[in-house]
Amino acid sequence: MSKALIVGAGISLLSTLVPLRASEVTVAWQMVEDRKSVIGTVEPTHELTARARIGGVVTVLQTIEGQEVVAGAVLAVIADQKLVLQIKGIEARIQSQEAQRDQARADYERMQDLLRRNVGSQLQVDQFKTALDVAERILTGLMADRDVIKQQISEGTVLAPAAGRVLTVPIVDGGVVMAGEAVATLAVDHYILRLQLPERHARFLRVGDRVEIAGRGTAEQTTDTGTVRIVYPEIKGGRVIADVAVATLDGYFVGEKTRVIIATGQRRSMLVPATALVRRAGLDFVRLKSGVEVMVQTGERRRENIEILAGLQVGDVVIAP
């Protein structure tokens, strides 16, 4: 065996024989936050509804539930056959009125020519000028009516009011919708956790408070944190409502629930390092400085410490490796 292996084995043996350094912790009352577990519901920050501006038949439906859309994306196209007939009728009236305007202009120009030859009178010229003005204004009014109908037809295209995820689409392709009827509901911006807390917790909750959030699908350990962004100043049914901003909710479903840990005041507690606990036969023990092992009842774990509910007294010195 080589000298290097012998030296390495010796160092390893010494490391197993040298005991770990222990520290002494004096038990005392400490003020800790009293934490409660509540249920938070995932909801969008804002929920918008895309509505039909005209009534008619859905000729194109380009969205489904769960789709991510950008602002201005076409969700559906609604057509009203009556508008098509109206615009055809007004187009015919415009063509007729254009012919009358051209005739009035020709008559007016002819009368001006006769007046220059001292054949007609100024009164006749003014009459033909008035007829031309009336014809042009009637034509302008008809064109405005046509633009109104074209605008109504263009309003059949339903656009996404903002970027977000489509939650519901209560219409079908080929169905009839009325003006103002919902075409799609969108969840915009980011998701938040909405809490509904008992009224007694309202005085402890403040904007900016940090909360702990359990991992998705788990109920034992917290994996994320959030911040209280708003506490609504109204109590409904004995509950106060608060919204929590969390950066990692984009993949959640709207309405999904998760466990949230919030602080609800302070209380006295005894804390010892978690490393001081020795578990045997399903029971927890700690070793005192006197060498005696005491059985304890543990409570909530708080990072590297753990609460002691029974078994220790103020002033006891606990040995923690």
What confidence score (pLDDT) does residue 257 get?
85
Q: Where is 59: in which H helix or E strand?
A: strand 56-61
What confidence score (pLDDT) does residue 246 get?
85
143, two tokens: 């064109």
Q: What is the pLDDT of residues 23-57, one digit of tens each?
A: 878 888 888 777 778 888 888 888 899 999 988 89
For residue 233, CA distances in Å to 51, 202, 244, 261, 274 come to 31, 10, 15, 21, 40
Task: HSE, CB side, 13 Å, CA atoms: give it for residue 208.
Answer: 0
Q: What is the pLDDT of residues 49-85, one digit of tens each?
A: 999 998 889 999 999 988 889 998 999 999 888 888 8
Is the CB of residue 271 less than 8 Å from the CB of residue 29? Answer: no
Model confidence pTM above 0.85: no
294 burial (CB, 10 Å; 0-12 / 13-18 / 19+) is middle
235, two tokens: 């109590």
What confidence score (pLDDT) does residue 101 get?
92
Rounded Cα–Cα distance for residues 285 and 19 (Å): 20
Is the CB of residue 183 less than 8 Å from the CB of residue 96? Answer: no
Q: Nearest Cα to 235, choosing from 203, 263, 260, 265?
A: 203
Task: HSE, CB side, 13 Å, CA atoms: give it for residue 182.
Answer: 11
End-to-end, the C-alpha distance of the chain in Å comes to: 36
Report residue 219 CA to chain centroid gap. 24
Which parts of the chain register pLDDT below 50?
A: 1-20
